Amino acid sequence: MAEGMEGIVHVRIDDRMIHGQVATQWSGRLSATRIMVINDSIVNDDMRKTVVRLAAPANVSTSILGREKALANIKSGRYKGQRVLLICVSPMDVNYLIDNGLPIKEVNVGNMAAREGTERIRPSINVTQEERASFKQLIDRGINVTVIPTPQSPTVYLKDYI
């Protein structure tokens, strides 16, 4: 990853946070030593945090942080020497990080579940109008937004579907 992102080896958007594909395939392929989940809504929900942590491989550390704390930790170089898989729940989280100085150049989109008010744009990717606009903003910024469910899946570019 770019300078200013020491330790970050992959950025992914996945509303499931840590789950089977992340725990068994992505963390292994990336040789991740830490999985960091960034989202303000989960930070104060101890039950959800416990469930998310239980899904992580035993040999991989976890961090579940709000946007501001994650941003401060990354900018301070706290993860230098680690291999961090950074997972955001929404494209708005990624735009927040970029707006506040992180030089993110590529984002992989995993799953965004169907919810009320969403439109399916790809298998397993359903977006609200706000999420669609946030993805467009990422693409307009020149961020390479890919859709790669598992490490062995072919690379698809979200710009072709948004």
pLDDT in tens, 136-155: 999 999 999 999 888 898 99
Give the residue from 21, 31, 65, 35 showing the smallest Cα distance to 153: 21
What CA–CA distance (Å, rounded) separates 40 from 110? 19
Judge whether 67 lies within some domain.
yes
CA distances from 64 to 2, 19, 53, 86 (A): 22, 14, 8, 10
Judge whether 58 lies within some domain.
yes
Active-site residues, by number, are 19
Tell me phi and psi for residue 92, to 5 degrees.
Answer: -65, -35
Using one digit for the tens of pLDDT, what is the confidence trace for 10-62? 999 998 887 667 767 788 889 999 999 998 888 888 888 888 887 877 888 98
Using one digit for the tens of pLDDT, what is the confidence trace for 58-92? 888 989 999 999 999 999 999 999 999 999 999 99
Judge whether 1 lies within some domain.
no
- pTM, entire model: 0.91
Judge whether 101 lies within some domain.
yes
